[in-house]
């Protein structure tokens, strides 16, 4: 492949030269690109980078219902593993779903019965939208 689409949807990259070509019929390189497409060629697809929402401060806790928060905080008083997760969650500047500790923490909370499978899925859906 000679070309790669860019995520802007308004440019393509020529892979041999590194040139970024705007989608503009007055641009000679774009005309050549369209001819290349007309000949049955296909550009490399754009790489889609997912950027997850960062939850900070109170927003971290608002991912969970008040009852879930109470159960987890209560369990942290008597279960060292829950306390470790709770403390790390509390002191984190922010949380995102792409953090492996967050993913494992949510699985842990479901395994311990602090989150139902449905609530676990709902939290993931919220964090990945």
Minimal CA–CA distance to 68: which of 14, 37, 4, 112? 112
Q: Averaged over 14-24, what is the pLDDT?
A: 91
pTM of the model: 0.61
pLDDT of residue 48: 79
Can you give the residue ranges of every domain in the chain?
A: 3-38, 55-127
pLDDT of residue 10: 87
Q: Averaged over 11-15, what is the pLDDT?
A: 92
73-96 tens-digit pLDDT: 999 999 999 999 899 999 999 999
pLDDT-derived band at 127, boundaries 50, 70, 90? very high
What is the spatial distance between Cα 73 and Cα 36, in angstroms, rounded to a whole number? Answer: 61
Q: Are 96 and 127 in contact (CB under 8 A)?
A: yes
19 forms bridges with which residues in the sheet? Answer: none
For residue 116, what are its two tokens?
A: 């139902």
């Amino acid at each position: 492949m000679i070309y790669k689409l860019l995520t802007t949807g308004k440019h393509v990259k020529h892979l041999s030269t590194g040139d970024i070509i705007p989608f503009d019929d007055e641009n000679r390189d774009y005309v050549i690109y369209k001819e290349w497409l007309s000949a049955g060629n296909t550009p490399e697809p754009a790489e889609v980078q997912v950027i997850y929402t960062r939850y900070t401060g109170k927003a971290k806790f608002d991912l969970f219902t008040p009852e879930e928060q109470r159960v987890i905080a209560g369990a942290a008083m008597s279960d060292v593993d829950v306390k470790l997760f709770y403390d790390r969650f509390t002191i984190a500047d922010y949380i995102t779903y792409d953090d492996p500790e967050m993913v494992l923490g949510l699985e842990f909370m479901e395994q311990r019965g602090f989150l139902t499978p449905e609530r676990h899925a709902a939290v993931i859906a919220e964090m990945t939208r």
